[in-house]
Amino acid sequence: MKVAVLGSGAREHALAHAIEKSPKCEKVYAIPGNPGMSIMKIECVSDISANDFECIKSFCREKNIDFLIVGPEAPLVQGIADIFEGENTFVIGPNARAARLEASKSFTKFFLTKYQIPTASYKVFHKTEIQEALEHIKTHTLPVVLKADGLAAGKGVIIAQTRSDAKEALLSMMQQDKFGKAGHTVVIEEFMQGIELSTFVLCDGKHYAILPEAKDYKRIGEKDKGLNTGGMGAISPVPFANEAFMKKVETEIVQPTIQGLIQEGIEYVGVLFIGLMNVNGRPKVVEFNCRFGDPEAQVILQRIENDWIEIFEHIRKQNLHECRIKIKKVHAVSIVLASQGYPEQFETGKIITDYPSTEEYVVYHAGTKWQDGQLVSAGGRVMSIVAQADSLSEAKSKALKGAARVQFENKYYRKDIGFEFN
Ligand code: AMP
Ligand code: GLY
């Protein structure tokens, strides 16, 4: 079988790596892929952009691709799965209607409320209701959470500690177009106090299979200080997500979500990423995403023993309930190496050395490129170092070894991934 992976980050690198291990896999094409990916059965198709859907479709026809798995949300939200309807290539990823679970926070809140799935209480305001929104803020408990309705590159959520900060955030979205149209509708919601957790559910439109959970470290600074990033590291399993907690996640969140989707006539195919808050032992939904997380994918893929092409076949045949996910009892840790300045303006073009994977850790590329025969940095998140072991601390020390060994000028990484569980 031939598989195409759409995207160029460390998440897609890890996915291609996992798929390539399937004995059924003849070839994996990474569109456009990254410099770390061109090994074994993986081939990068770097001249096709991830946004050129017609070109991707022609390529998949020409190469007889069986499955196309889409890494990032943007192509899904823009309808790549819809464009492949009727094609021989089966897309692992939801259509645009289903991807609204990530693309519209107001739609998600409406859905969660309708199906009585635990989440923060909220109200939605449109640009035409600024006065009402300001009045609402005046009496809201603090902190208060404001969310731009649409996609805002992970920056559309503001946790305001004071009413004046909340007012300023609201006006920046609704009047000053901070996130363009994405901020013309704003969700104002209750702040949930707790620890976050990422859960991943495979869906075939009718059935689901739960994958291992992960915890993502989103802040740039150690001990979760500083600006939000795409994710600076991840761990799996998550120590507090014991069997009893995960049972609650399944019965109180996953099952009603899948039922609700079916009832709405939404055929959700692919990965559903559920961002959860553990509020005093009760899981509540923070958000949905329509794809794997990055760097969460890097750790959960380490723990799944199944043949990925078999999983894709179950999804295509809509018999995912017959697929048993085999989870390795190991701890996996990923540490992201970032460029100086990230998540704001960052440096690029730094020569990278000592980056090969070793027996102790795997190196997945993200923002790298070839320049004059040398590997150089080309993004905010440059690489992910991933390791596994019998304990979290052992996995972490292996990953830290890799993080220290890879060299580029002004390399930055968090040394405290998993710190709460030491
Ligand atoms: P999102 O873009 O929806 O993932 O939100 C970004 C981050 O904001 C989440 O990962 C949480 O850390 C935080 N967040 C969002 N909504 C809430 C909430 N209602 N209460 C507390 N934290 C939240
Ligand atoms: N690591 C969070 C995300 O992929 O959205």
CATH superfamily of 195-322: ATP-grasp fold, B domain (3.30.470.20)
Which ligand is nearest to the Cα of residue 121, counting in written order?
A: 1
Looking at the chain, the whole-number percentage of residues with pLDDT higher than 70 is 100
Convert the pLDDT of each residue in 218-262 to its tens digit.
999 999 999 989 999 999 999 999 999 999 999 999 999 999 999
User: For the domain with range 331-421, which CATH number is right: 1.10.3720.10, 3.90.600.10, 3.50.30.30, 3.40.50.300?
Assistant: 3.90.600.10
Take residue 388 and report the two structure tokens written for it.
């596994």
Residue 145 CB–ligand 1 contact under 6 Å:
yes
- Residue carrying structure tokens 């013309």: 184
Residue nearest to atom 14 of ligand 1 (CA): 286
Q: CATH 3.90.600.10 in the chain, residues?
A: 331-421
Query: Would you call 65 exposed, middle or buried from its count of C-beta atoms within 10 A (0-12, 13-18, 19+)?
Result: buried
Convert the pLDDT of each residue in 36-83 to its tens digit.
998 889 999 999 998 999 999 999 999 999 999 999 999 999 999 999
2-7 and 67-70 beta bridge pairing:
parallel
Residue 152 CB–ligand 1 contact under 6 Å:
no
Q: CATH 3.30.470.20 in the chain, residues?
A: 195-322
Q: Give the phi and the psi of residue 232 in degrees, each rounded to 5.
A: -105, 0
Confidence (pTM): 0.96
* pLDDT at site 40: 86
Q: What is the mean pLDDT of the chain?
A: 97
Q: What angle do CA 286, 14, 381 make, to 5 degrees?
A: 70
In this structure, what DSSP letter does residue 251 have? I
Choose one of 294, 300, 364, 384 to mutate for the ligand 2 pocket test, by most ligand atoms within 8 angstroms of C-beta.
Answer: 294
* pLDDT at site 292: 98
Convert the pLDDT of each residue in 85-122 to its tens digit.
999 999 999 999 999 999 999 999 999 999 999 999 99
Residue 120 CB–ligand 1 contact under 6 Å:
yes
Ligand 1 atom with the shortest distance to the CA of 191: 20
Long-range contacts of 159-168 (CB under 8 A, 24+ apart): 159/191, 163/137, 163/138, 166/137, 166/140, 167/134, 167/137
* pLDDT at site 155: 82
Convert the pLDDT of each residue in 289-333 to its tens digit.
999 999 999 999 999 999 999 999 999 999 999 999 999 999 999
Choose one of 217, 286, 289 to mutate for the ligand 1 pocket test, by most ligand atoms within 8 angstroms of C-beta.
Answer: 286
Helix (H, G, I), strand (E, B) or coil at 82: helix
CA of 359 to the centre of ligand 1 (A): 36
What residues contact residue 297 under an 8 Å CB cut-off, 6+ apart? 11, 14, 15
Q: CATH 3.40.50.20 in the chain, residues?
A: 2-83
CATH superfamily of 123-190: ATP-grasp fold, A domain (3.30.1490.20)
Ligand 2 atom with the shortest distance to the CA of 231: 1
pLDDT > 80? residue 154: no
Looking at the chain, the whole-number percentage of residues with pLDDT higher than 90 is 96
The answer to whether 395 and 332 have CB atoms below 8 angstroms apart is: yes
Q: How far apart are CA 78 and CA 83, in angstroms?
A: 10
What is 2-83's CATH topology? Answer: Rossmann fold (3.40.50)
* pLDDT at site 226: 93
Which residues, judged by CB distance below 6 Å to any ligand atom, belong to the binding site of ligand 2? 216, 230-231, 289, 293-294, 296
pLDDT > 90? residue 422: no
